[in-house]
Amino acid sequence: MTKAALFDLDGVIADTAVYHLKAWRKLIQDHFNQDVPDGLLAQTKGLSRVDSLNAILSGLDLTVSEEEFARLADEKNDLYRQSLADLNEQGILPGISELLAELRKKDFHLALASASHNAPLILEKLGLSDSFEAIADPRKVGRGKPAPDIFLTAAKGVNCKPEDCIAFEDSAAGITAIKAAGSYAVGIGKQAELNADICFIDTASIDLDEILNNWQENK
């Protein structure tokens, strides 16, 4: 059996999820003089830039023209990219380099399933550009998370059936996407928020043997 591990990026491989949230908060403060509540910000985790902006505007009861929407999305991306300026290998979350090596040793193919258009830039800054055999391009994928499309594309990129893949995610939308794809969902964060097949509170706590045993038992 050909098996693969599919990875989300922001919040799983790199500690960049927090930069997205900060950029959204500053954007809305600057333009609308409003604070985005934590709960609303948390809902954007894993969603595409456009879906995130739609969720924030509708959560705050704000309406903008199409042109302004596009300008806001661009400005958020500029803010986000500024915060990536100093990103380097130190930005890889604890335990992830070891996990990638362990997976490779166990003959897993590795593929990236991130919603971020900035993923190739981030991988380069982290020194991980050559670590994945396939990178699903969210520009070419139909629907964003929570739809399964990006995970299905990542699995296909390494010629694996979705049911022969385990996938790592830190967002509820991403876990829903993995389950909809038919893969085994490993959550990073609080299980009460994620409802994953198995969950670890942070990347440092990930236990691959536990994952693989649990995956086999539940197949």
Binding site for Mg ion (CB under 5 A): 8, 10-11, 170-171
DSSP 134: E
* Span near ligand B16 by CB under 6 A; candidates 28-36, 42-50, 124-132, 204-212: 42-50
197 catalytic? Reply is: no
* Closest distance to ligand B16 from the beta carbon of 53 (Å): 9
Measured CA to CA in angstroms, residue 33 lies from 60, 68, 75 at distances of: 11, 16, 16
Q: Cβ closer to Mg ion: 42 or 64?
A: 42
Cα-atom radius of gyration of the chain, to the nearest Å?
Answer: 17
Pairing between strand 134-135 and 165-169?
unpaired
107 catalytic? Reply is: no
DSSP 91: G
Output phi, psi for 115, to 5 deg: -75, -10
- 76 closest CA partner among 118, 128, 20, 124: 20
Indicate whether 20 belongs to the interface with ligand B16 (CB under 6 A).
Answer: yes
* Span near ligand B16 by CB under 6 A; candidates 6-14, 99-107, 154-162, 181-189: 6-14
Q: Cβ closer to ligand B16: 49 or 179?
A: 49
List the one residue from 3, 92, 96, 118 that touches ligand B16 (CB under 6 A). Answer: 118
Residues in the site for ligand B16, rule: CB under 6 A?
Answer: 8-11, 17, 20, 44-49, 52, 77, 114-118, 171
